[in-house]
Amino acid sequence: KHTFYLRMGVKFHHGRELSAEDVKFSLERILDKKTNSPYYQFFLPRIVGAKEFREGKTKDVAGFKVIDKYSFEIHWTRPFVSALYLMSMHFCKILPRELVIGQGRRFFLKPSGTGPFKFDYWLRTPQLDIVGVRLKRNEEYFGGRPYLGAVEFCPLFTLDHFLNREIDSIPVLSEKLLIPNVQIFQDGLLQPIFLGMSCHIPPLDRAIVRKAILHSLNKREIARDIFDMRYVRRVMNNYIPSRLPGFFPRDDEESYDPEKAKQMLQDAGFSIEEEFPPLTLLIDLP
């Protein structure tokens, strides 16, 4: 299990203090069929009582326990090393229970969270279509008063908007932007692209088979031909980006080597003449 101790005095943007009841409600909402969230599958096999709750057999998820106003427990069906990573995902955001229940989907037209900036208004076209959002400074933010007074986000902003000084920053994919008076900050995204394997399904339940697949894939060609090297700046033999704690450099033992892959499959009991079970790979383009 994991026990979370909530910071005292953290307030939602509408003024009410966040509590463990909000955490319980927000996580159970993901599993509720009426929410129609696609992310329930991350919790269903891992949380005690999740299946019973989703099937309507119980009113609460047994594995989500409110200990007191500032303490909350999650009970897992088995050890799960990525638990904290999962809890940091956007769909695990904590929502104010009474507003979501009272307003339903209308809540998301004027949401209330606990972050340094709070909803101000939607950015709209002359036809009143929503194209972005303006957030204003949260004077009551528990982490201290934000430096900026407001922030605007819009996916329709272009390089021309930036060059005309209509916006302050914009991401660019060019290796270099040779324009006078433009300051470029270059850094790698902390977003590794990886091939996940269902390690409980044969033959992927055997480590030697998974390693053979690793040696059979030319990651540099995949990065170049499928993702475009502008997106994939570095081919790693590590799941953790180099600037994050937990990164450790590795040698080339897991590099592309099809002959080694064939030998490993033979060692796993698959002969040259025997057809290896077909594998379907899902490529999620950025």
Q: Let me know if domain 2-106 sits in CATH 3.90.76.10.
A: yes
Write down the pLDDT at residue 86: 93
Write out the chain in H/E/C secondary structure. Answer: CEEEECCCCCECCCCCECCHHHHHHHHHHHHCHHHCCHHHHHCCCCECCHHHHHCCCCCCCCCEEEEECCEEEECECCCCCCHHHHHCCHHHCCCCHHHHHHHHHHHHHCCCCCCCEEEEEEEECCCCCEEEEEEEECCCCCCCCCCCCEEEECCCCCHHHHHCCCCCCCCCCCCCCCCCCCCCCCCCCCCCCCCCCCCCCCCCCCHHHHHHHHHHCCHHHHHHHHHCCCCCCCCCCCCCCCCCCCCCCCCHHHCCCHHHHHHHHHHCCCCCCCCCCCCCCCCCCC
Q: Which CATH class is domain 187-286?
A: alpha beta
Write down the pLDDT at residue 272: 64
Pairing of strands 150-153, 130-137: antiparallel
Q: Which residue has the higher pLDDT, 159 or 35?
A: 35
Q: Which residue has the higher pLDDT, 265 or 65?
A: 65
pLDDT at 242 over 70: yes
Q: Which residue has the higher pLDDT, 155 or 8?
A: 8
Q: What is the pLDDT of residues 192-224, one digit of tens each?
A: 777 788 888 888 999 999 999 888 888 888 777
Q: What is the pTM of this model?
A: 0.68
- Residue 112: band (very low, low, confident or very high) from pLDDT cuts 50, 70, 90: very high
List of residues 6+ apart from 81 with CB closer than 8 A? none
CB 64 within 8 A of CB 47: yes
Write down the pLDDT at residue 271: 76
Write down the pLDDT at residue 285: 58
Write down the pLDDT at residue 64: 98
Question: Domain coordinates of the chain in residue numbers?
Answer: 2-106, 115-179, 187-286
pLDDT at 30 over 60: yes
Q: What is the pLDDT of residues 126-141, one digit of tens each?
A: 888 888 999 999 999 9
